[in-house]
């Protein structure tokens, strides 16, 4: 229960941050939107529209209650409600991220399974630690560059009805997460293999399948899950850039557009919704850890 | 000073001098002159990396942009280390009391939320500017080093000589001041490993449009135009991204050489 309140406090902090950023700056937000050469009465009109002429605490409370009603205001460019637009884009982005990280889980699990049954392949797995050197942003655009150089005719357009066009971006993005997950799983499984309980289970004659899945994997699961949740946040950054390159209608192009056009309500909604989503995922993971490893329970 | 600490100081000196060197070299080779007749030239003797859409020499632009990215990242790193040293020591020195609770709460926010959102939101209210960029990046990336500093301070705090100082009657702030030189070197070496992330953060920001503006070359913009035009000019894409990868690998090797290997 305390964890939930803590997470709620984090979300409220982010909300306050966006409010301070976009409403309380010394410069006039309406003036920033319209540029330095706009006439005075246009600035005043925009101020009234955005509700900036009321006192600051009234603005804060208004925004907070609007938030509880899930009303994020209207975009200054298209005058349409912001919430729906951002949520649609978020759906696309998270489709890509979860696809990427599922590929990473599948590949790291398979590689470690093979390495467990055929121990001669262990040095190959050790090579994955070289995939971890370059940050995820660099490796994803490096591979994307190589592909656009070597295959200039590949169609990079994303069609929503054709899920196969997401495979290439997801594969590109999954390079770094796969390397990290394989490396972590490999280390933890080796730790488990060298422990006493594993050696005695081996001696007792359990089949190799049972040894791998029920004993070695279970010890590795907590670190694996925590690395996976971290990678979700890390991969978000490179997902934004890949979306810009491959013109996938996700958060990336929306972020760039709203920055160049100074669309503050959209920016507020993007920051708030994304941060909320990541905080929720972290909280859920925090609840799952004690269930997997009872040593982590503390009252 | 031990050999280890000397090596770390030399490495930090290199990290500050190298960007200036690169920018000087890039400037000497003239990254700004436009020559429409030489658009999209493939690599040759005269233009070792080829030219871009305005006929500018890509070699000088890549060198200049690499130096600029490194300069921005090292400046952001200094700000981030300073903040994390102060806040981490405070949090470690008063564990579970008010300063620690506030600092841990703040660092939780900064670790769970993707930093690119907070940084780009903050940079959107200002005009694109190099100084604002590295100050903002430094202001948001202190969270992970601060955790390391706090762990280090907690460890040192329980050692006997600190207890002895307390018993002798030194006040808290005097002990704190004495502790900072002890904890600074581990924090510096571990933050050297976060430099690649800062570099990729800076390149990503200029990808999105922040940081240095045209005609000043920046790695992010070079890579973006390179990928978009890769079907007509493969050299525009290959050289910037190789420069970036090379830079990060070199920094990683530097950081590995400095890490203390037990036994």
Selection from B128, B38, A210 nearest residue A202 by Cα: A210
pLDDT the model gives residue A130 = 78
Tell me how close the Cα of A245 comes to any Cα of chain B, in angstroms.
7
Between A203 and B261, the higher pLDDT residue:
A203
Is A176 among the domain residues?
A: yes
Q: With contacts defined as CB-CB under 8 Å, which chain B residues touch A130?
A: none
Selection from B69, B63, B72, B70 nearest residue B22 by Cα: B63
Tokens representing A30? 């309406």
Residues A128, A29 share a domain: no
Is A280 among the domain residues?
A: yes
Q: Which of A26, A137, A230 to mutate to test the interface with B (most CBs of B within 10 A)?
A: A137
| Mean pLDDT score of chain B | 83
**Who among A29, A145, A153 is closest to B241 (CB)?**
A145
Tokens representing A165? 């066009």
Is A105 among the domain residues?
A: yes
pLDDT the model gives residue A79 = 65
Q: What ipTM was estimated for this complex?
A: 0.83
Q: How far is Cα A90 from Cα A244, in angstroms, rounded to an integer? A: 14
Question: Phi and psi (nearest 5°) for A74?
Answer: -110, 145
Residues A58, A88 share a domain: no
Q: What is the CATH number of the domain that holds A94?
A: 1.10.3720.10
Selection from B141, B162, B193, B189 nearest residue B92 by Cα: B162
Which region among A194-198, B37-41, B66-70 has the lowest average model confidence (pLDDT)? B37-41
Instruction: Decide which of A68, A91, A109 is a domain's last residue.
Output: A68
**Who among A21, A136, A149 is closest to B125 (CB)?**
A21
Residue B90 has pLDDT above 80, yes or no: yes
pLDDT the model gives residue B189 = 77
Q: Across the interface, do B204 and A137 touch by the CB < 8 Å criterion?
A: yes
Residues A130, A161 share a domain: yes
Selection from A281, A235, A285 nearest residue B114 by Cα: A235
Instruction: Decide which of A44, A68, A92 is a domain's last residue.
Output: A68
Q: Across the interface, do A13 and B109 touch by the CB < 8 Å criterion?
A: yes
**Who among A135, A258, A275 is closest to B196 (CB)?**
A135
Residues A261, A149 share a domain: yes
3-state secondary structure A36-82: CCCCHHHHHHHHHHHCCCCCHHHHHHHHHHHHHCCCCCECCCCCCEH
Question: Do B49 and B43 contact (CB within 8 A), yes or no?
Answer: yes
Q: With contacts defined as CB-CB under 8 Å, which chain B residues touch A240?
A: 116, 204, 208
pLDDT the model gives residue B263 = 39
Residue B30 has pLDDT above 50, yes or no: yes
Residues A64, A87 share a domain: no
Distance of CA A186 to the CA centre of its chain: 24
**Who among A142, A236, A267 is closest to B124 (CB)?**
A267
Instruction: Decide which of A13, A36, A68 is a domain's last residue.
Output: A68
pLDDT the model gives residue B161 = 76
Residue B79 has pLDDT above 80, yes or no: yes
Residues A60, A126 share a domain: no
- In the numeric block, the tokens 């590295």 are attached to B134
Number of domains composing chain A: 2
**Who among A138, A149, A262 is closest to B234 (CB)?**
A149
Q: With contacts defined as CB-CB under 8 Å, which chain B residues touch A144?
A: 227
Q: How far is Cα B119 from Cα B206, in angstroms, rounded to an integer? A: 12
Give the pLDDT means over successive 10-residue stretches in chain A (299 positions). Answer: 85 84 69 67 69 70 73 65 82 88 91 84 78 84 81 63 75 89 89 87 85 82 91 90 83 85 82 90 89 77
Query: What are the pLDDT digits (tens) for A164-218?
Result: 777 888 888 888 999 999 999 988 888 888 888 888 888 888 888 887 888 888 8
Identify the burial level of A27 via C-beta atoms within 10 angstroms of its C-beta, where 0-12 means exposed, 13-18 middle and 19 or more buried. exposed
Residues A120, A18 share a domain: no
Residues A255, A151 share a domain: yes
Question: Do B116 and B201 contact (CB within 8 A), yes or no?
Answer: yes
Is A75 among the domain residues?
A: no
Q: How far is Cα B158 from Cα B163, in angstroms, rounded to an integer? A: 7
Q: Across the interface, do B208 and A259 touch by the CB < 8 Å criterion?
A: yes
Interface membership of B122 toward A (CB under 8 Å): yes
Residues A260, A114 share a domain: yes
Residues A278, A140 share a domain: yes
Tell me how close the Cα of B36 comes to any Cα of chain A, in angstroms.
24
Residues A90, A61 share a domain: no
Q: Across the interface, do B109 and A14 touch by the CB < 8 Å criterion?
A: yes
What domain range is A31 assigned to?
2-68
Is A74 among the domain residues?
A: no
Residues A145, A22 share a domain: no
Tokens representing A67? 């938030």
Is A205 among the domain residues?
A: yes
Indicate the pLDDT class of residue B182, thresholds 50, 70 and 90. confident
Is A76 among the domain residues?
A: no
Is A104 among the domain residues?
A: yes
């Amino acid at each position: 229960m305390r964890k939930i309140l803590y997470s709620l406090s984090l979300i409220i902090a982010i909300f306050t941050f966006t409010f301070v950023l976009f409403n309380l700056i010394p410069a006039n937000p309406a003036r920033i939107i319209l540029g330095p050469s706009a006439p005075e009465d246009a600035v005043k009109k925009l101020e009234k529209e955005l509700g900036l002429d009321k006192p600051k605490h009234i603005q804060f409370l208004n925004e907070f209650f609007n938030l509880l009603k899930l009303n994020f205001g209207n975009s200054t460019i298209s005058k349409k409600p912001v919430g729906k637009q951002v949520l649609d884009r978020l759906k696309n982005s998270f489709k890509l991220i979860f696809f990427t990280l599922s590929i990473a889980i599948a590949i790291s699990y398979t590689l470690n399974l093979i390495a467990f049954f055929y121990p001669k392949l262990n040095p190959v797995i050790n090579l994955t630690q070289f995939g971890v050197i370059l940050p995820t942003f660099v490796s994803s655009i490096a591979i994307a560059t190589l592909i656009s150089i070597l295959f200039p005719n590949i169609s990079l357009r994303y069609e929503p009805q054709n899920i196969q066009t997401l495979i290439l971006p997801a594969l590109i993005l999954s390079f770094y997460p796969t390397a990290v997950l394989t490396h972590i799983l490999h280390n933890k499984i080796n730790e488990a293999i060298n422990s006493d309980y594993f050696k005695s289970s081996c001696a007792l004659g359990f089949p190799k399948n049972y040894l791998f899945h029920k004993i070695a994997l279970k010890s590795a699961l907590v670190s694996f899950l925590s690395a996976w949740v971290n990678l979700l946040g890390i991969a978000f950054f490179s997902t934004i850039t890949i979306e810009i390159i491959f013109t996938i209608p996700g958060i990336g192009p929306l972020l760039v557009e709203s920055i160049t056009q100074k669309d503050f309500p959209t920016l507020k909604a993007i920051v708030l919704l994304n941060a909320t989503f990541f905080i929720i995922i972290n909280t859920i993971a925090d609840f799952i850890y004690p269930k997997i490893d009872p040593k982590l329970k503390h009252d | 000073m031990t050999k280890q600490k000397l090596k770390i100081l030399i490495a930090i000196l290199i990290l500050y001098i190298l960007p200036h060197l690169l920018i000087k070299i890039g400037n000497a080779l003239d990254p700004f002159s436009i020559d429409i007749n030489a658009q999209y030239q493939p690599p040759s003797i005269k233009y070792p990396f080829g030219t871009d859409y305005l006929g500018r020499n890509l070699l000088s632009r890549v060198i200049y942009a690499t130096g600029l990215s490194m300069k921005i990242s090292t400046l952001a790193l200094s700000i981030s280390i300073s903040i994390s040293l102060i806040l981490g020591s405070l949090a470690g020195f008063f564990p579970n009391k008010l300063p620690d609770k506030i600092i841990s709460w703040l660092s939780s926010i900064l670790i769970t939320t993707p930093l690119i959102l907070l940084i780009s939101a903050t940079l959107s209210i200002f005009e694109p500017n190099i100084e604002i960029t590295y100050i903002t990046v430094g202001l948001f990336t202190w969270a992970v080093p601060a955790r390391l500093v706090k762990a280090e301070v907690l460890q040192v705090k329980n050692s006997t000589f600190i207890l002895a100082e307390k018993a002798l009657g030194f006040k808290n702030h005097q002990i704190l001041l004495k502790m900072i030189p002890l904890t600074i070197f581990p924090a510096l070496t571990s933050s050297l490993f976060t430099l690649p992330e800062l570099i990729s953060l800076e390149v990503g920001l200029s990808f999105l449009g922040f940081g240095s503006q045209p005609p000043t070359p920046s790695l992010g913009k070079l890579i973006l135009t390179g990928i978009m035009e890769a079907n007509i000019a493969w050299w525009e894409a290959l050289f910037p991204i190789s420069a970036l990868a090379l830079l990060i690998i070199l920094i990683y090797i530097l950081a590995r050489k400095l890490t203390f290997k037990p036994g």
